[in-house]
Amino acid sequence: MEQWNGRYYAPLVVEVTDQDDGKQVRTILERRLGVSRKLLSQVKQTEHGLTLNEERVYTTAIAKSGDTIRLRMEQEESEDILPQPLPIEIVYEDDDLLIVNKPAGMIVHPTHGHYTNTLANGVVHHWKQRGERVRFRPIHRLDEETSGLVAIAKTSYVHQQLSEQLQAGTVMKLYRAYVYGVPVPTAGTINEPIDRDNEQPHLRVVRQDGYPSVTHYEVIASYPGMEGTAAASVRLKLETGRTHQIRVHMRHIGCPLIGDKFYGMEHGRIEAWELAAGRHALHAEILGFVHPIKKVPMEWQAPLPVELASLEKLLGMNGN
């Protein structure tokens, strides 16, 4: 990673054009880079955080055509996260982003009583080995038992930009699930609000006073199954990102995920399917968004993990 004086990340550089002549530095940065007021407030506190032609300035300084504005963010570290050598599958990495394929059974971020063996511990160790000082900033999270792609920002600006893309619904997140039953119709949208279960607050339920939640789905394959129980492979796209959203919505339409210990089948589970999956059968398969620095659309895909590939094979065999 390019550094400046060993204290800052590589600067964001804006060349002032005729269109921006006479405007305040703050206005130019907001218009050209989409920099938030919060980030500007942080950056201007440091000696070289905000400069105009390499001179430290206030955000209200007036720029002229031909001037150069540089925004430098101080390097940060996640000092509260213990570096730990863990097997981390890196799908993509540059100075700004890290995309990893998280295995099932791994928590994304340390929580109370669970401070090690998380994705964060492994990523922080990876950066330490590379000599990088970076704070762990996941853009989104996956449940412990959900496998697949997770995006991690390496600077506060990239985190802000990707968070805004998430809010705007322009981040593509496609999931693969294996469920009991076959959804009818085979493609559609589940638009049902979700909130906590009053009796079991750690769980979520569909309830009319809940938060708006929208899941789009499409059946990829259906399997006659065994013991009179059908199954399906389903691709899902999230329009919102509520906790346990896919699992709750699929249960709501009568097609709970195979292997789901909280939202799965209450009766009629197929033991062979449950054992093959070993956990709820959900995988974050495809992730795509516009790179905040390169300004180009990028997309990544994570193949099915071994256990879900085995489940798919088993379902196909039972269907013959």
Positions marked active-site: 143
Of 284, 287, 311, the closest CA to residue 145 belongs to: 284
Q: Residue 42 is encoded by which pair of tokens?
A: 């942080």
Sign of CA dihedral 33, 35, 39, 44: positive
Calculate ∠ Cα 288-291-295, nearest 5°.
Answer: 125
Round to whole Å and give the CA distance between 241 and 146.
Answer: 14
Calculate ∠ Cα 161-77-37, nearest 5°.
Answer: 35
Round to whole Å and give the CA distance between 259 and 179.
Answer: 9
Round to whole Å and give the CA distance between 177 and 235.
Answer: 6
Strands 3-4 and 172-180: unpaired
Residue type, position 237, single letter: K
Task: Give the CA distances from residue 114 to residues 59, 118, 152, 154, 262, in Å, rounded to whole numbers and listed in that order.
Answer: 42, 8, 20, 23, 20
